[in-house]
Amino acid sequence: MFGLTRRSALLTGAGGGIGAAVAEAFAKAGAAVLVTDVNGDTAAAVADRITAAGGAAQSAVLDVRDAQQAAEAAAQAAALNNGTLNILVNNAGATAPAMFANLDQEAFSRIVDIHLLGSFVCSKAALEYLPDDGTGRIINVTSAAGLTGTIGQANYGAAKAGIIGLTKSLAKELAKRRITANAIAPLAATAMTENIRSNEKLAVKTLARIPLGRWAEPSEIAGSFVFFASDAGAYITGQVLPVDGGTVI
């Protein structure tokens, strides 16, 4: 039920952190994966780890805002499975923290473009390769910031809230093709949360809001993606799953 054999996956922002963990989990479940990242070296390193462990993986450079690069990545991922791309994971992200009074338009647009526009661009590119046989999946990455708002990252919160709206709209539109679209809101110890974890005051406040009282490792987040990607998640669409130790209850 949780296997991904004979399926292909395209993962964005998979050169490290949660994206890398999901790529490795997909490969262990049997999928052929295309690991993409704006940093080609980190993407290649993840793909090399997967193949060294006996999995099937390739890598590619992908700036998710670039429609041509996204189209090429979708085609490459589909080629791993005879022209079919079963799973797209829109995970690429970035942060540019600033209190709203100090947040400039460039920083706002950049973060919204990477997260929200990037999810749109890659979903559009993947669409022609997603099958109608019930195995097509779009899995977007959102955040508690998109569900409840956040202080000091209005750009990030707005982008993640937009991803939720995009996910629900895709779920309704693509249901007729038996393609599901869901979002996961994770919280883990990654490079994107380093600025919080390394700040003693912020770290204490954040841990106080996590009922389980700790940060997850990226590998602990990956199982939720396997669930949505597999047959176990075939009857779930348009949903947001917080995987955050109870932060959003």
Q: Give residue-wise pLDDT tens across range 216-225.
A: 999 999 999 9
pLDDT at residue 131 is higher than 90: yes
pLDDT at residue 12 is higher than 90: yes
Q: In angstroms, how far is CA 234 from the centroid of its own chain?
A: 18
Torsion of CA 150, 160, 69, 32, to 10 degrees: 110
pLDDT at residue 92 is higher than 90: yes
pLDDT of residue 81: 98
pLDDT at residue 190 is higher than 90: no
Distance separating alpha carbons of residues 125 and 229, to the nearest angstrom? 18
The domain segmentation of the chain, as residue ranges, is 8-243
pLDDT at residue 195 is higher than 90: no
Beta sheet of 180-186, edge-to-edge order:
56-61, 32-37, 8-11, 87-90, 137-141, 180-186, 240-243
How big is the CA angle at 23 (ends 18 and 24), to the nearest 5 degrees? 100
pLDDT of residue 203: 86
User: What does the buried/exposed string (b/e) look like for 181-210 if buried means 16 or more CB atoms within 10 Å of the residue's CB?
Assistant: bbbbbbbbbbebbeebeeeeeeeeebeeee
Would residue 156 show up in a list of annotated catalytic residues for this protein? yes
For the chain, the first-to-last Cα distance in angstroms comes to: 28
Distance separating alpha carbons of residues 207 and 156, to the nearest angstrom? 20
Structural domain 8-243, CATH architecture:
3-Layer(aba) Sandwich (3.40)
207 versus 80: which is more confidently predicted? 80
Question: For residue 236, what pLDDT band results from cuts at 50, 70 and 90?
Answer: very high
pLDDT at residue 198 is higher than 90: no
CB atoms within 10 A of CB 117: 17
- Entry pTM: 0.96
Catalytic residue chosen out of the listed positions 26, 156, 225, 227: 156
pLDDT of residue 201: 86
> pLDDT tens digit string along 72-83?
999 999 999 999
The token pair that represents 82 in the structure block? 């005879």
pLDDT of residue 85: 98
pLDDT of residue 196: 82
